[in-house]
Amino acid sequence: MTPASRACRVGSGPITQSDFIINQPGCGQKLHVLPYPNAYHRIVLHGNQTNNQFTIIEGLIYINEEARLHYHMNEDEMFFVINGTLQFAVDGKQFCARAGISVYISRSVTQFVRNINSKPAFVQILFAPSGREKFLETVSIINDNSPIDSTQANLLALNHGQVNLGEVSKCEDLNCVSDNGTLIKLSLYSIRFMFISIAFYRTINLNKNFKRYLIVD
């Protein structure tokens, strides 16, 4: 296998598996994944690049956009919220997922996700095993044509192992608004932990003959 220096490629050759891939920002196949005017996501990694182990997509979810209640029969799904805030309903439980939070959803478990009242939320989504891109490539054509044929989209989803269930019976008011500081807070905690760890390591190594505990408030 030949290493790939970047996933954004010039030319029309096939996408193939590589030893490693360095994916550049804004790269990947752009698809119209949800029935909203701006609901375009990119396929970051195709299954034929990962030995069919997983597929990764990424994109923005704008306010009032949602993936209605559904479940997958063939794939597990993992959401990584990079920016903004989303409201989830997973197996009947509703909660907010702010920047820095990951949400794993097993296959056959019902799920719903919506941007209730946040700036555009940037997410990466992993599907395992791969194959999800085949559905997205086809439904993108349906979503590009107005009015959108929801019956055709639902049948297509079912043929690819996704069962659409419609609206959530009640969307709870959880105040899922954007928290711009979340990622900064996580970074500060990580930096603080790093310095505490270094200080503790040095203390232990400089005092081999007796125990000494360094407490940092």
Instruction: Quick: pLDDT tens for 9-45.
Output: 544 456 777 778 888 888 899 999 999 999 999 999 9
Across all residues in the chain, what is the average pLDDT?
Answer: 83
Q: Is residue 53 part of a domain?
A: yes
- 134 and 157 housed in the same domain: yes
- 142 and 104 housed in the same domain: yes
- 33 and 58 housed in the same domain: yes
36: which DSSP letter?
A: S
pLDDT of the residue at 139 = 98
Please tell me the distance from the alpha carbon of residue 200 to that of residue 54, in angstroms, as a whole number.
Answer: 39
- What range defines the domain where residue 198 resides? 181-217
Q: How large is the average pLDDT for residues 152-175?
A: 94
Residue 117's Cβ-count burial label (10 Å; 0-12, 13-18, 19+) is middle
Q: Is residue 173 part of a domain?
A: yes
The 10s digit of each residue's pLDDT in 37-86 is 999 999 999 999 999 999 999 999 999 999 999 999 999 999 999 999 99
- 152 and 202 housed in the same domain: no
Q: Is residue 15 part of a domain?
A: no
- 160 and 201 housed in the same domain: no
Helices (H), 160-181: none
Number of domains in the chain: 2
- 165 and 187 housed in the same domain: no
- 112 and 185 housed in the same domain: no
